[in-house]
């Protein structure tokens, strides 16, 4: 009997857990380690952040769901990996520290035959002084708890506007190296929608502030889509949507510091600016969660296993090259670590070989470029591929049997721009592949039949159905495995 340990129970970790439970749960042991007691459908945090959903509607208790399965759930955080075992044993293990209140602080070593690192990111608010809800002046929608607090502050700002005060709302990214612009993009339109519903839109100045070179970059270098007899860059549509809603934008910006009511940022030309705000939601940059790795003798081998940003090195080509020489082949396919064939990293936890957007820096040398998005649909796709590979490896295969390169997979993003069953709209975007492949698609790097974007009520219906479908699926309700990931 083999033991598969999964670090993390987000979209990637939970996807791997439910498929491994279905395929090999009866004959092999599956352990999920997550510091969080609850699973969170993060895309719907946007609606929590504007008061249109409750925390309970976007989360559920992990222990209860795993009780229905053969999966053993440990509410704990991973501390370190010993991929070679210890002086006394060749068996690899991880060290964990319980976050379950009854065992809080207790540490334990868990041996494994296969390890999936799906920890997700550390929300690195500390990278920008004054950023974030805990020690700063901005809010976040990265967790359900953050989104709740964001809504509380948004409602307070709405009250001020109702009382006749003009307010400035700033939404975007809180550092030059952020990813997840899509979440902020969706949030700004939902805030606009809520302000209109509250009858105070004319009292608000709404400003988009981001590290994208142009609007619509989304960390993927932007997209080209067919529309109106032209192949047009997504920038055109992103700008159109902003103008239509009366939203201003500032791009190519690295937020350096946030003070109460004031954002200090640097732009690509090297100039420094200030932007005042009454309410601001800025996405933090992501980093690895800080896992360490040790060899058999207890020597620190973290730098061999992880990239400097804390993400785990996998089967990507990490050779530094100029942008013009980047290739789709640089991107990992199996997510297996090169040194340890029984360790895989998926979702945000794996180290990308490089950015997708072209690296840019300010006149002062400050990097201002979005980092690659690898949340949501790509996370689930790679987690399922790794689960299939591990299923086959415990059954005798010598190497991974499935691949899910971001240069060979598509992604869909539905960004709500107002919630109503007949009057709501959403921007629906599909891209294929996520990482442009200029060898296969020389002109634009992507398949223009599958790279699309449109705004409409259909997108809102999709968004609403996806919310319920994915939560149903994640709760392992009857028939979950026939639903698409």
Partner 1 sequence: MAVKVTNKEPYQQAYYPPAPTGFTRYMRTSLIWQGIRFIVINLKMLKLMSKSHH
- 172 contributes a contact to partner 1 by CB under 8 A: no
Candidates 16-24, 38-46, 133-141, 241-249 — which segment interacts with partner 1 by CB under 8 A? Answer: 241-249
- 450 contributes a contact to partner 1 by CB under 8 A: yes
Nearer residue to partner 1 within complex by CB, 234 or 288? 234
Which of 32, 459, 464, 470 is the binder for partner 1 (CB under 8 A)? 459
- 448 contributes a contact to partner 1 by CB under 8 A: no
Nearer residue to partner 1 within complex by CB, 260 or 423? 423
List of residues 6+ apart from 409 with CB closer than 8 A: 378, 381, 382, 432, 433, 434
Which of 39, 112, 187, 249 is the binder for partner 1 (CB under 8 A)? 249
Nearer residue to partner 1 within complex by CB, 60 or 480? 480
- 457 contributes a contact to partner 1 by CB under 8 A: yes
CA-to-CA distance for 450 and 442, rounded, in angstroms? 15
List of residues 6+ apart from 152 with CB closer than 8 A: none
Nearer residue to partner 1 within complex by CB, 83 or 222? 222
- 197 contributes a contact to partner 1 by CB under 8 A: no
- 402 contributes a contact to partner 1 by CB under 8 A: yes
Q: How far is the CB of 194 from partner 1 (least distance, A)?
A: 18
- 452 contributes a contact to partner 1 by CB under 8 A: yes
CA-to-CA distance for 110 and 80, rounded, in angstroms? 11
- 392 contributes a contact to partner 1 by CB under 8 A: no
Nearer residue to partner 1 within complex by CB, 71 or 225? 225
Candidates 2-10, 52-60, 234-242, 291-299 — which segment interacts with partner 1 by CB under 8 A? Answer: 234-242
- Separation in Å, CA 334 to CA 21, 118, 157: 20, 14, 47
- 469 contributes a contact to partner 1 by CB under 8 A: no
- 462 contributes a contact to partner 1 by CB under 8 A: yes
Q: Which two tokens stand for residue 49?
A: 């952040």
Nearer residue to partner 1 within complex by CB, 79 or 448? 448
Nearer residue to partner 1 within complex by CB, 269 or 299? 269
- 168 contributes a contact to partner 1 by CB under 8 A: no
Q: Which of residues 406-435 bind partner 1 (CB under 8 A)?
A: 408-412, 422-423, 425, 428, 430, 432
Which of 2, 168, 236, 267 is the binder for partner 1 (CB under 8 A)? 236
- 242 contributes a contact to partner 1 by CB under 8 A: yes
- 275 contributes a contact to partner 1 by CB under 8 A: no
- 404 contributes a contact to partner 1 by CB under 8 A: yes
Candidates 20-28, 80-88, 163-171, 451-459 — which segment interacts with partner 1 by CB under 8 A? Answer: 451-459
Which of 384, 391, 446, 467 is the binder for partner 1 (CB under 8 A)? 384
- 385 contributes a contact to partner 1 by CB under 8 A: yes
Nearer residue to partner 1 within complex by CB, 229 or 320? 229
Per rule CB under 8 A, count of chain residues that contact partner 1: 38
Nearer residue to partner 1 within complex by CB, 326 or 464? 464
- 22 contributes a contact to partner 1 by CB under 8 A: no
Candidates 53-61, 104-112, 128-136, 456-464 — which segment interacts with partner 1 by CB under 8 A? Answer: 456-464
Output the 3-class SS for the chain: CCEEEEECCCHHHHHHHHHHHHHHCCCCEEEEEECCCEEECHHHHHHHCCCCCCHHHHEEEHHHHHHCCCCEEEEEEEEEEECCCECCECCCEEEEEECCHHHCCCEEEEECCEEEECCCCEECHHHCECCCCCCCCCECCCCHHHHHHHHHHHHHHHHHHHCCCCEEEEEEECCCCCCCHHHHHHHHHHHHHHHHHCCCHHHEEEEEECCCCCCCCCCCCCCEEEECCEEEEHHHHHHHHHHHCCEEEECCEEEEEEECCEEEEEECCCCEEEEECCEEEEECCEECCCCEEECCCCCECHHHHECCCCCECCCCCCCCCCHHHCCHHHCCCCCECCCCCCEEECHHHECCCCCCCCCCECCCCCECCCCCCCCCHHHHHHHHHHHHHHHHHHCCCCCCCCCCCCCCCCEEEEEECCCCCCCCCEEEEEECCCCCCCCCCCCCCCCCCCCEEEEEHHHHHHHHHHHHHHHHHHCCCCCHHHCCC
Q: How far is the CB of 456 from partner 1 (least distance, A)?
A: 4
Q: How far is the CB of 206 from partner 1 (least distance, A)?
A: 12
- Separation in Å, CA 104 to CA 62, 74, 355: 17, 12, 38
Q: Which residues bind partner 1 (CB under 8 A)?
A: 236, 239-240, 242-244, 248-249, 381, 384-385, 402-405, 408-412, 422-423, 425, 428, 430, 432, 450, 452, 454-459, 461-462, 484-485
């Amino acid at each position: 009997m083999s033991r598969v340990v999964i670090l993390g129970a987000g979209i990637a970790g939970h996807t791997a857990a439910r498929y491994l439970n279905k395929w090999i749960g009866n004959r092999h042991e599956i352990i999920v380690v997550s510091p969080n007691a609850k699973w969170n459908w993060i895309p719907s945090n946007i609606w929590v952040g504007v008061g249109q959903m409750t925390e309970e509607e976007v989360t559920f208790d992990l222990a209860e769901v795993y009780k229905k399965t053969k999966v053993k759930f440990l509410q704990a955080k991973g501390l370190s990996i010993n991929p070679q075992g210890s002086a006394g044993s060749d068996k690899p293990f991880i060290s964990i520290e319980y976050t379950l209140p009854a065992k809080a602080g207790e540490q334990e070593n868990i041996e494994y035959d296969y390890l999936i690192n799906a920890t997700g990111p550390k929300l690195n608010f500390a990278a920008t002084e004054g950023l974030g809800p805990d020690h700063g002046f901005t809010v976040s929608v990265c967790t359900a708890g953050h989104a709740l607090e964001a809504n509380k502050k948004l409602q307070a700002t709405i009250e001020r506007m109702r009382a006749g005060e003009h307010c400035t709302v700033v939404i975007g990214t809180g550092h030059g190296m952020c990813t997840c612009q899509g979440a902020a993009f969706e949030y700004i339109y939902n805030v606009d929608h809520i302000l209109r519903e509250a009858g105070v839109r004319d009292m608000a100045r709404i400003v988009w502030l981001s590290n994208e070179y142009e609007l619509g970059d989304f960390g993927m270098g932007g997209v080209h889509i067919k529309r109106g007899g032209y192949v047009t860059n997504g920038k055109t549509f992103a700008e159109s949507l902003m103008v239509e809603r009366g939203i201003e934008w500032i791009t190519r910006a690295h937020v350096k510091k946030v003070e109460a009511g004031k954002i200090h940022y640097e732009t690509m030309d090297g100039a420094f600016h200030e932007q005042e705000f009454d309410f601001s939601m800025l996405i933090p940059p992501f980093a690895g969660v800080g896992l360490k790795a040790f060899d058999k003798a207890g020597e620190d081998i973290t730098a061999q296993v992880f990239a400097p940003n804390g993400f785990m090195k996998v089967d990507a080509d990490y050779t530094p090259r100029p942008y013009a020489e980047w290739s789709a082949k640089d991107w990992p396919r199996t997510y297996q670590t090169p040194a340890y064939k029984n360790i895989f990293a998926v979702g945000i936890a794996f180290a990308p070989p490089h950015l997708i957007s072209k690296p840019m820096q300010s006149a002062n040398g400050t990097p201002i470029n979005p980092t690659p998005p690898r949340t949501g649909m790509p996370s689930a796709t790679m987690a399922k591929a790794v689960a299939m590979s591990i299923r086959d490896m415990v059954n005798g295969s010598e190497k991974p049997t499935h691949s899910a390169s971001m240069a060979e997979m598509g992604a869909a993003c539905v960004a709500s721009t107002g919630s109503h069953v007949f009057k709501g709209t959403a921007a629906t975007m599909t891209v294929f592949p996520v990482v442009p492949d200029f060898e296969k698609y020389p002109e634009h790097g992507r398949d223009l039949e599958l790279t699309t974007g449109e705004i409409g009520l259909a997108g809102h219906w999709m968004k609403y159905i996806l919310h319920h479908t994915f939560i149903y699926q994640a709760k392992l309700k009857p028939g979950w495995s026939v639903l698409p990931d």
